[in-house]
Amino acid sequence: MNIQHKIYLASVIGAVIIVFLAVFGFGPLVLEIKKTAALALESREKLISLEIMDKNYIENTEKDYQEIEARVEEIIKNRFIDKSEAVKFFEALEAIAASTNNQIEISVADFPLLNLSLKGSFADLMKFLGWLENGPYLIDVRSLGISRVGSLNEETENVPVGTIKSNIKINVYTHEKN
């Protein structure tokens, strides 16, 4: 074999190796690069979409906050009891107790914490508690104790059958006028 044949043979083998590398080496690599680029583009689009959603959520939250902030003063005035007008609240408690056929005693140890003692039927007590829960004031019932009248050696003359005595501790949410 002469030199020229060796050069042709080496050129052909080199060309076959280059074609083999191009088909089996670089081809899959190029396909993987295309897949990765498409995935990166899709991820970028999702990220942009999430950014827009977050921006809209933040704007809506800020708008909701401003609406709530504008109503806070109204909520405090309407639902919280003004400390200087506590007597009106006590009168309201007495009126509701009377309208639900309960006898009430209110003791104030440390306002806004109140102790209420009620005498009446269980159904009447439930009506009174319903008013506390659904009434116009923000009230937190801390404890509720119920006992049957006469079960604790109490005077039971002229007391209807089924009368109960209940002790309710409530916390009244208050505010002070500016």
Using one digit for the tens of pLDDT, what is the confidence trace for 134-150? Answer: 888 888 889 999 998 86
The pair of three-digit structure tokens given for residue 10, joined into one six-digit string: 């080496």
The domain tally of the chain equals 2
Q: Evaluate whether 155 touches 101 at the Cβ level (below 8 Å).
A: no
Listed residues 46, 79, 112: the one ending a domain = 79
CATH number for the domain spanning 135: value is 3.30.70.60
Exposure on the CB side of residue 100, measured as CA atoms within 13 A: 24
Of 44, 62, 79, the last residue of a domain is 79
pTM over 0.85: no
* Burial class (CB within 10 angstroms; exposed 0-12, middle 13-18, buried 19+) of 164: middle
pLDDT score at 150: 67
Q: Last residue of a domain, which of 56, 79, 102?
A: 79
What is the domain range of residue 28? 1-79
